Amino acid sequence: MQAAEFVQTVQNRQGVVISAPEEIAFYEKWITKEELIQSARMYGKSPYGEHLMRVAVIIPGLSEPPVRTLRATIPENESHIFR
């Protein structure tokens, strides 16, 4: 339960989605942009669906995902969760 609360806190504070399987699949080239858009539409206007749609249209005309590196930033007062 603590991990779920930590993820929710980070997502809310930083405005990012952590571990969106469809986003990861897109960046790893396991699914196409069209498949990502189809997944986004399944979630409708939920925050998750809107996030997936933003990922899909981040660079108009892009048929392949950009190379990307993700680093996690753990606030000092919450790092105890990982010890």
On whether the pTM is more than 0.85, the answer is no
CA–CA dist 14, 55 (Å, integer): 16
End-to-end CA distance of the chain: 15
Contact status, residue 38 vs residue 53, Cβ threshold 8 Å: no
Q: pLDDT tens for residues 25-40? A: 998 899 999 999 999 9
H or E stretch covering 42: helix 33-42
27/22 Cα distance (integer angstroms) = 9
Segments making up each domain of the chain, as ranges:
2-82
Q: How many CB atoms lie within 10 A of CB 69?
A: 4
pLDDT tens track for 2-59: 888 887 888 778 777 777 899 889 988 999 999 999 999 999 998 889 989 988 887 5
